[in-house]
Amino acid sequence: MAIPERIIQPSIAEDGSIHYSSVTSAPDDSTAVCYMVPDRVIPVVFVPGVMGTNLETKGPAKSKPVWLLDSLSTVKPWMTVGPDMRKRVLDPNKTQVHSGGNIPSGTAQTEDELRRRGWGEVAYMSYGQWLVWLENALNDVHAGTDHGRKGLRASLCDIVTPVLDKLKRDEVALSYKYQFPVHAVGYNWLQSNAVSAERLATRIDEITAWYRKQFNYRCDRVILVTHSMGGLVARYYSEVMGLRDKVLGVVHGVMPATGAAATYKRMKTGTEGVAGLALGPTAAAMTAVVGSAPGPLQLLPSRDYGMGWLQIRDGERFVTLPASDPYSEIYTVRGSWWGLCDDLLLNPLDPSKKTIDQDWKSFADLIRRQVRTFHDDVSGQYHANTYAFYGDDAKHKAYGDVTWTQQTLPLLRGGVPPMTDLLAVRGSDDPATGGQLVKTTLDGKAYFANFVLRDADEHGDGTVPVRSGRAPGHQVRACAAFAGIDHEGAYKLDATRRFTLHAITRIAQSVKGTALDYKA
């Protein structure tokens, strides 16, 4: 038999005073349910890609934003900035993370709370709506979901997600016993990813400590979700720095696991799209920034990418590089038109080129000491509980190989110069074709050849080719391919968002046996 419930009911008298009377409700068989807020917290930390973090000036003067992706109006001014100004402003040593970016609406959290969580550090244009979606999907207990039984996670029990088994009901139920506040941790993408990993380490310690001290919650591990180069930062943090025990698991989106040949191509021709506004739409603008920025240079193909990806063709003759070492055979080759970096473009602040030898030495040292070393450190290193996805689409081709093709008919009868002669000289941009115009001699006469880059040749996401995206392969829990992915908008697709939510829910099962586990 149900027990009658006593309710204290207020009433207002004519004089405005409030009186309370006791009313006994009729007995019924209803059940009162009170959901308790879980006292165990697993922060989900999003790590953005290159150029995905807002930057500001650093120094004794008041800081001001220099790279802010709030809207097109905040990046359009870069369209008219020359190589010299880019060199001055986008300096790894004179910039730092800017936290004052736009905060998206659409969550149950206040703007102050989301800013505390670092949402203002990352590009609003690229990630604003994605962070809102993830926050709502992971914290939907009070959104009419019947404590998760009707939430988006529950729907994944009935949906086949590429390379992942359907979620089980008890897996979803366990995930609702935890809070998953979504944080974002930006980094200075001009600096080495190793330096960025140190900032990530500091921020993760601050994030987990805050929940323990503020609410006395149990919170000692995070789940990392990364985009593009952010995956390299996360891998260095968890595996090279030996901090994997602070990470429950990782989801990598469109990570250039072994590098991207597009980085070489962009050093030669500039970067397209919004990214080009910062890094530079021309080789001169690109080299002025990236020539002293280890972060973007660490996106170059590593040894693990494979050999022979740079091809130079002159009719039936061709050369493929590298044979064994891209750092010495391509990246630090000086004075040849096909080498990664034109030393004449390294320092636009020195128009007379008085410091060109020192500038080149600094660049070559950067390649050897920071790019090659970083590649070697992260080679084959993945957190044991890693899930990854990448783009595999013919409509979003990326540079797998980079091919220079000679398009000028021989001007001399009786032969052509040896390939070694064509490769050993500087070139000059040909404005008519966008190629490299090469001049050499044969039998004392001038010979001209114009080498032009072929279009991207491999399925991918427009930046990362399949060979690099799928490189984690059997080294991780799952590595899924998706069509229709544009690199910058990788988390704007419903399919990749659901994959990420599925992976996070599966990663959450790893609480068993840790301090976050609910003991019987």
What would the pLDDT profile of 73-104 be if each residue is shown by its tens digit? Answer: 888 888 889 999 999 999 999 999 999 999 99
Q: Choose among 230, 264, 494, 250: nearest CA to 401.
A: 264
Q: Is residue 154 part of a domain?
A: yes
111 and 62 in a common domain = yes
Rounded Cα–Cα distance for residues 199 and 55 (Å): 14
184 and 201 in a common domain = yes
Of 455, 476, 493, the position where a domain reaches its end is 455
223 and 182 in a common domain = yes
167 and 118 in a common domain = yes
Tens of pLDDT, residue by residue over 237-251, are 999 999 999 999 999
Q: Is residue 37 part of a domain?
A: no
198 and 317 in a common domain = no
Tens of pLDDT, residue by residue over 347-369, are 999 999 999 999 999 999 999 99
197 and 54 in a common domain = yes
pLDDT at 410: 59
Beta strands in 456-509 (DSSP E): 458-460, 478-482
| Both tokens assigned to 179 | 């809070």
207 and 168 in a common domain = yes
CATH of the domain at 385: 3.40.50
469 and 445 in a common domain = no
Angle 283-286-292 from CA coordinates, rounded to 5°? 125
Angle 111-113-116 from CA coordinates, rounded to 5°? 110
Domain with 333, as residue range(s), is 301-339+401-455
Q: Which residue is listed with tokens 């996670």?
A: 153
Q: In this model, does residue 384 exceed pLDDT 80? A: yes
What mean pLDDT comes out for the span 293-297? 98
pLDDT at 9: 43
| Both tokens assigned to 293 | 């920025």
Q: Is residue 313 part of a domain?
A: yes
What's the number of domains the chain is made of?
A: 2
Q: Is residue 465 part of a domain?
A: yes
Of 413, 438, 455, the position where a domain reaches its end is 455
451 and 382 in a common domain = no
451 and 486 in a common domain = no
Of 432, 455, 478, the position where a domain reaches its end is 455
Model confidence band, residue 12 (pLDDT cutoffs 50, 70, 90) = very low
234 and 192 in a common domain = yes
Of the CA atoms within 13 Å of residue 475, those in its CB half-sphere come to 14
More reliable by pLDDT, 91 or 13: 91
Q: Is residue 364 part of a domain?
A: no
Contacts of 409 (CB under 8 A, 6+ apart): none
Q: Is residue 17 part of a domain?
A: no
Q: Which residue is listed with tokens 């004794």?
A: 60
The rounded mean pLDDT for the chain is 90
Q: Is residue 152 part of a domain?
A: yes
Q: Choose among 222, 178, 175, 180: nearest CA to 200.
A: 222
Helix, strand, coil share (%) of the chain residues, nearest 5? 35, 20, 45
Any idea how long the chain is? Answer: 520
139 and 94 in a common domain = yes
Q: In this model, does residue 143 exceed pLDDT 80? A: no
Q: Is residue 467 part of a domain?
A: yes
